[in-house]
Structure 1
Amino acid sequence: MTQNIYDDPEFFEAYSRLNRSVLGLDGAPEWPALRALLPDLHGLRVLDLGCGYGWFCRWAAKQGAAAVEGVDVSVRMLERAQAMTQRSPHNAVITWRRASLEVFEPPEAAFDVVFSSLAFHYVEHLAELLRAIHRTLVPGGRLVFSIEHPIYMAPRDPDFILDDDNNESWLLDSYQMEGPRVTNWLADGVIKQYRTLGTLVNTLIDCGFTLSRLIEWGPTQAQVDAMPELAQERERPMMLLIGAHC
């Protein structure tokens, strides 16, 4: 089963203070690039895996999606999502389901678009999930997701190092050693599942997907000008954004 770290009170409280938790999609600097991978959602059936607070679900409903389903393993996340959606005029379009992505089995040919933001790196049995996604998408259906970049995830002790001139470098090691990575992010003992870029792409292909776009995301200069702390994200890729179709 997926580690349910988001129901840990310490983790949930820290997560609630992040920009992407307070500001939603506008607080996620990768959102403009991720949004560009999505088709027009009007009239489509949309599935959000690892929906969190439901920001994307509400956005998809606002775009005119015919139906939106948000799935998350965390009770706290789903409770927050439902509370934030109650007064939304698009509330009736959205349904919520608690499920682990390790064992999630959506109906066959039930969705036109599957979306996921920064959730797949928690999934140990990713191939099984991708096959389930392929089954639930209609022919030509789209999968759009973000995931932590392998260069960001691989190191045993992920961090920048400084040289004598205070220049930052990302210390990369253990790249070919796939498997769990334990990090202390917001709380101690957060478990993520590391794969090389080749493994991730080949798993998608083996599960029947055709890649349409792969973006090693980094901030634009305009984003760095507006938020100087994002400059560090130009030193190494933190996220992959992937668009694929059946």
Structure 2
Amino acid sequence: MQQNLYDNTEFFNMYKNLRETRITYIDFIEQPAIRKLLPPLQNLQVLDLGCGFGEQANYIIDNGATHVTGVDISEKMLGMARKRSEIHYLHSPIEEVDFNNHQFDLVVSSLAFHYIEDYHLLISRITQWIKPNGYLVFSTEHPIVLSNKNQEGWIKDYNNNILHWPIDHYGEEGLRTQFWGIDGVIKYHRKLSTLLNVLIQNGLVIEEIVEPESISEGLEKMPKLINERKRPSFILIKAKRVM
């Protein structure tokens, strides 16, 4: 099931305004972590799946890559992406785009895979696009975040203090719906073993796994990020195709 949240005007405006504050989980947790996982970018051909506003694509070009192909389902997001000759944007669902075998040195994706229903097929296709000795680096919402079917958030006491994060139905993979700006946002829960084993089954060698916490600036500007020590929001994986 494909869901184009970001062309919903209400959701898009909410997300755009949030990102423009530069005070977000992405700015202080996810992006600093994913940038540390990237291999040296000099002269690489890169695919960015779920590229959004193109900020990650610009970072990759600014740090030496030759070319980035950015793919996103949202016409509104791509409409705001900075136009550069080194970046080619494709308006397409990730599930429908296709490329030549061994076309990219690096495939990178920031918080998009949890929107994709068929993870097995996704990784199979991506592996074909990666050159031998090339990399896949991606972030996704952490399995413990998405496990609970009710998606009810933190359990708190009578004074609204956080007690713990509820984990339930962890072994029941599949669709979850939640309120995030609008009702009915669809994501897909997968066990940690699934995230890792599908990579291994496709011949990818896992080099690093990160469950990041906030950088120091984030703790100053968003004190609630200290709760990442109670429960990580994201998991990031770096894997290499060796053949």
Q: Given the two structures, how large is their TM-score scaled by the length of structure 2?
A: 0.91
The answer (yes or no) to whether the contact 2:28–2:214 under 8 Å persists in 1 is no
Q: Percent identity?
A: 40
Question: Is 1:169 matched with 2:202?
Answer: no
The answer (yes or no) to whether the contact 1:102–1:129 under 8 Å persists in 2 is yes
The answer (yes or no) to whether the contact 2:135–2:240 under 8 Å persists in 1 is yes
Q: Tell me the SS of whatever aligns to 2:17.
A: coil
The match for 1:241 is 236
- Tell me by how many angstroms 1:225 deviates: 3.5
- Tell me by how many angstroms 1:28 deviates: 4.3
1:213 to 181, 187, 208: 208
C-alpha distance in 1, partners of 2:91/2:23?
21
What is the aligned-residue RMSD (CA, Å)? Answer: 1.9
Question: Is 1:110 matched with 2:103?
Answer: yes
Amino acid at match of 2:207: S
C-alpha distance in 2, partners of 1:213/1:189?
33
The match for 2:136 is 143
The answer (yes or no) to whether the contact 2:108–2:137 under 8 Å persists in 1 is yes
C-alpha distance in 2, partners of 1:32/1:167?
26
Deviations 1:54-106 (A, max 9, x none): 0011111111211111000111111111xxx13xxxx1101000111123222
C-alpha distance in 2, partners of 1:244/1:163?
41
Question: Is 1:131 matched with 2:135?
Answer: no
Amino acid at match of 1:142: Y
Consecutive unaligned residues of structure 2, counting only runs of 5 or more, are: none
The answer (yes or no) to whether the contact 1:2–1:101 under 8 Å persists in 2 is no
C-alpha distance in 1, partners of 2:171/2:216?
32
- Tell me by how many angstroms 1:244 deviates: 0.5
Instruction: Say how many residue pairs are matched.
Output: 238
Runs of 4+ that moved beyond 6 A:
none
Distance 1:36 1:164, change over 3 A: same
- Tell me by how many angstroms 1:30 deviates: 2.4
- Tell me by how many angstroms 1:230 deviates: 1.0
The answer (yes or no) to whether the contact 1:50–1:119 under 8 Å persists in 2 is yes
Distance 1:218 1:227, change over 3 A: same
The match for 1:63 is 63
Q: Tell me the SS of whatever aligns to 1:217.
A: coil
The answer (yes or no) to whether the contact 1:46–1:112 under 8 Å persists in 2 is yes
2:184 to 181, 186, 189: 189
C-alpha distance in 2, partners of 1:24/1:229?
12
Distance 1:109 1:45, change over 3 A: same
Consecutive unaligned residues of structure 1, counting only runs of 5 or more, are: none
C-alpha distance in 2, partners of 1:164/1:220?
30
C-alpha distance in 2, partners of 1:106/1:22?
35
C-alpha distance in 2, partners of 1:22/1:78?
19
The match for 2:45 is 45
